[in-house]
Structure 1
């Protein structure tokens, strides 16, 4: 999927102006080439290994989403991934982490209707949600 298509779909998924769609698109692109192969399971497993199990479970579950901080995201993502995402978005790694922390809970919540993680790439899940 072309980056701009993914950004457009993420913008639609996020609602509003979707200004962080490019940032999330860069994160998904980076994850697609790294550990987890771009799967939502891979991303969520990485967050859980970093101590964010309760947060990620709340995003997947059907209840209220727990928040996460930029610092927690910064520590959960590999440094090279966060640097790459920040560079693509033209922001500092800390600002990238803050923006990801703000948007990721809602995106994961929307990609896991019914409280289950579908078996597909994140790109495919986004595509399904924006059809």
Structure 2
């Protein structure tokens, strides 16, 4: 069982089809970010417009990532957008919001390793995942991380 499958399972998603939906979540989230007007910068602006700028700023900064509630994700992205993303990932809207609440902080954090948004505002799936040494690293960052 992959780490993403474990995450999905811990969020209450049973995966009878073998977890393909949870593995797709990273790609769906990155595609969504890249398709925003302005890419990651556009997503950051959206968070600020919906009162969650301090949360996404913590993900970009070099300090601890603030958690985000699934309903805040839905508020920022809009229920129509969450529904469309959920359909792409093969999960319900509620499941997607919960999974994005777990994935986005780490994804944005890893995409901005020095606390800086990429100049072009686009995330490179291979680059981000490659810098993680695989998907396992996406969820491996904790205060006990001693990789220096």
Q: Same fold (TM over 0.5)?
A: yes
Matches within 5 A, 1:91-106: 91-106=91-106
- TM superposition score normalised by structure 2: 0.67
Higher Cα radius of gyration: 2
Deviating runs (4+, > 4 A) in structure 1?
A: none
2:69 alignment partner in structure 1: 69
Whole-Å Cα distance in 1 between the matches of residues 115 and 123 of structure 2? 19
CA RMSD, aligned part only? Answer: 2.0
* Unmatched 5+ stretches in structure 2: 6-21, 132-148
Matches within 5 A, 1:4-43: 17-19=3-5, 20-33=22-35, 35-36=36-37, 39-43=39-43
- Is 1:82 matched up with 2:78? no
- TM superposition score normalised by structure 1: 0.74
After TM superposition, give the deviation of residue 55 of structure 1 in Å.
Answer: 0.7
Whole-Å Cα distance in 2 between the matches of residues 30 and 114 of structure 1? 22
After TM superposition, give the deviation of residue 64 of structure 1 in Å.
Answer: 0.5
Cα deviations by residue, 1:24-46 (Å, 9 ceiling, x for unpaired): 3223334544x425x11111111
Cα deviations by residue, 1:34-64 (Å, 9 ceiling, x for unpaired): x425x11111111121111111111000000
Query: What is the number of equivalent residue pairs in this alignment?
Result: 113
Cα deviations by residue, 1:56-89 (Å, 9 ceiling, x for unpaired): 1110000000000101001110222211111122
1:128 alignment partner in structure 2: 127
